[in-house]
Amino acid sequence: MRIFLCEDEVLLRKQYLEVIQAYLTKSKLSVKVSELNTPTEILTYIKEQPSQPSLYFLDIDLGPQMNGIQLALKIRQHGPTAKIVFITTHEEMAPLVFKYKIEAMDFIEKSTPDVMKQKIEECLTVFFQRQEQLATDQPFFQINSREQTLLIPIQEILFFEALHQNSILTLHTLHGHHEFYGTFKEIEGQSPNFIRTHKSCLVNKQNVRLVDRKKLEIEMINGQRCMISRRKIKQFFPKL
């Protein structure tokens, strides 16, 4: 694991570094922290080093060559799993760009040292927690929509539904629904829990609450319903 800090203001960089070092000593973690001044330094560094789980604290205003957002996009190309935290003034703040374009973990607004210290510590805690979670190897479903990739934990997936036009699939999860272009064929094999219950439905078996044999419907654990054909009831949910 590695932590990168990119801030061209020397005093501020020192301030952040102290907070990070203090946090690491307190939690008895030994993680290398690299201070880098310019975007070029970071980019050459990550090109030479093998990729590993890393956390980046990036200032948005990094001088004339490249701003923090452009740098973050470059970092993303090298390591899609890199965790990025932006340090930004109120004027530069663009929360949705951070979240949806860079998939940044968080952002810290420049303010008093105390507030910032708290925010930095929060980010570090989240980062180390995520690393632990990744180690437990929770399965994810991946939606590739053009340039973005969206990871959805398989245990949150209820079912996929096909619309009769185009090739839009709707993924229903515990939190809502996502639409994307795809086919059942591409998805079916991605988890042993996925079962095709109907021409237009692919269900995550682990989240089924009950099978309504009369109405030919499946009720999911949040109460939402989808279709199942008679033949598939016999195949997947035989009467005991």
Partner 1 sequence: MYPTPFYYFWDIVVLIPYFVAFLSLRSKLSLKEISLFTFGGIVIIVLIPKFFVSSVLNTMMTYLLLVLLFLYTEKRLSAAMIHTSFVFLSIFLASETAQLSVFSALLEETFHYQFLLELVFIVLYCLVLKKIGAWFIKFRYGEIGLIAVGNAYLFWELVTYNFIELDYAHSEGFLIHIITGIFFCFFLLFTVVALLAQHAIDMSTKNERERALYNNSRNYMTNLEQQALEIRKFKHDYQNILLSMDRFFHEQAYDELEQYYREHIRPASDRVGRLNLQLAELKKVQSLPLKSLLYAKLSALDAKISLSLEIERPINFTEKQLIPLIRITGILLDNAIEALQNLPDGGTLRIGFLYDDHWRLIVENDCAEGLPPVYQLEAAGYSTKGKNRGLGLQNARELSRENGFLLTTTIKNSTFTQILEIGGLT
Task: Return residues touching partner 1 (CB under 8 A).
Answer: 91, 93-97, 100-101, 145-148, 163-168, 172-181, 199-200, 222-224, 227
Given the complex with partner 1, which of 5 and 161 has the nearer CB atom? 161
Given the complex with partner 1, which of 12 and 227 has the nearer CB atom? 227
Written as six digits, the tokens of 117 are 């210290």
Given the complex with partner 1, which of 8 and 92 has the nearer CB atom? 92
In angstroms, what is the minimal distance from the CB of 183 to partner 1? Answer: 13
Given the complex with partner 1, which of 52 and 138 has the nearer CB atom? 138
Bridge partners of residue 127, in order along the sequence: none
In angstroms, what is the minimal distance from the CB of 94 to partner 1? Answer: 5
In angstroms, what is the minimal distance from the CB of 89 to partner 1? Answer: 13
Written as six digits, the tokens of 151 are 């990871």
Instruction: Provide DSSP, 89-105.
Output: -TTT--HHIIIIIS--S
Contact 34, 45 (CB under 8 A): yes
Given the complex with partner 1, which of 13 and 83 has the nearer CB atom? 83
Given the complex with partner 1, which of 32 and 99 has the nearer CB atom? 99
Contact 55, 2 (CB under 8 A): yes
Instruction: Measure the CA–CA gap between 194 and 100, rounded to whole angstroms.
Output: 28
Written as six digits, the tokens of 103 are 């998939």
In angstroms, what is the minimal distance from the CB of 112 to partner 1? Answer: 18
Alpha-carbon torsion angle 77, 94, 151, 180, nearest 10: -100
Instruction: Measure the CA–CA gap between 69 and 146, rounded to whole angstroms.
Output: 19
Radius of gyration of the chain (CA): 23
In angstroms, what is the minimal distance from the CB of 227 to partner 1? Answer: 8
In angstroms, what is the minimal distance from the CB of 222 to partner 1? Answer: 5
Half-sphere exposure of 3 (CA within 13 A, CB side): 23
